[in-house]
Amino acid sequence: MQQLIKYTEEELVLLLKKQDQQAFSYLYDNYAAALNGVIFRMVEDKSLSEDILQEAFVKIWNNFASYDTTKGRLFTWMLNLTKNLTIDTLRSKGYKKQSKISKDENSVSNVPDTGLGAEKFDTIGLRKQLENLKPEQRILIEMAYFSGYTQDEISKDTGIPLGTVKTRMRSAIIELRKILQYA
Amino acid sequence: MQVEEIISSGLLELYAAGLTSKEETAQVEQWLKQYPAIGIELSEISAGLETYAQLQAIEPAPGVKEKIFAAINTV
């Protein structure tokens, strides 16, 4: 669907605080696929992933008043809410917490191309840029971002000391930022 | 703590990825209140991660959006 209106993050937040459904529709169109991608990587089940996505968006709508702009970007808040919901769902379904993230360094490029990004980014160009990320940096970002892992769990699972997880995570995210900035 | 020390601590990156402990989260939120520069830094870190997530997006089935709107319009 063609988006006629484009909101800045501030406008969007203001409208959502007023329970504006058009703004919510815009929010969905712009972020649902990204959040769905994160959920899917955690649950590896398309239909369960969409059920959780649906629940997450209803929660985002109902709890929007609790979003505090001073604590971070809108997407970060939505992502954390979604990740927590996914972890809770997996737990309630009796799933054992385990890494769904492939340690294979090529896993990132195996994600199905959905076309959503194409409208907003030079997707192919950016994906190529991501190849500049060192495999160990990419794995760390994947584990942090696309799993319900805590720092301790990442440390245990990879055998990397906790302090090193922190410093490597930092350099990985800095590298990511550089890559995406100049892409 | 000085702003530069905070930025180089690595905590902002972990906070942006949702990986901080309760205590660390409280600490970062305290800094965010105290120093506007920390908010700007965090926003840039988060924007990078956001783009990364957008690149790995998976379009949900078309019916999902309708179900969500039906749910929020049912009291």
Chain A CB contacts of B19 under 8 Å are 144, 149-151, 154, 169
The chain-wide mean pLDDT, for chain A, equals: 82
A132-159 residue pLDDT tens: 888 888 888 888 777 778 888 888 988 9
**Cβ pair B58:A24 closer than 8 A:** no
A62/B contact by beta carbon, under 8 A: yes
Mapping DSSP onto H, E and C, the string for chain B reads: CCHHHHHHCCHHHHHHCCCCCHHHHHHHHHHHHHCHHHHHHHHHHHHHHHHHHHHCCCCCCCHHHHHHHHHHCCC
**Closest chain B CA to residue A61:** B72
User: 């794995």: which residue's tokens?
Assistant: A139
Chain B CB contacts of A173 under 8 Å are 13, 16-17, 45, 48-49
In degrees rounded to 5, what are phi and psi of residue A152?
-60, -45
**Cβ pair B72:A21 closer than 8 A:** yes
Better-scored residue on pLDDT, A95 or A32: A32
Give the whole-angstrom CA distance, residue B74 versus residue A130.
43
| pLDDT above 90: percentage of residues in chain A | 43
Which of B13, B21, B73, B74 to mutate to probe the A interface, most A CBs <10 Å? Answer: B13
Predicted confidence (pLDDT) at residue A84 exceeds the cutoff of 70: yes
A63/B contact by beta carbon, under 8 A: no
A145/B contact by beta carbon, under 8 A: yes
Provide the pLDDT for residue A158. 87
Provide the pLDDT for residue A110. 43
Average pLDDT over residues A14-28: 97
**Closest chain A CA to residue B61:** A50
CA distance, residue B41 to nearest chain A CA (Å): 10
pTM of the predicted structure, to 2 decimals: 0.82
Run means of pLDDT, 10 residues per run, chain B, 75 residues: 88 86 92 94 89 91 97 89
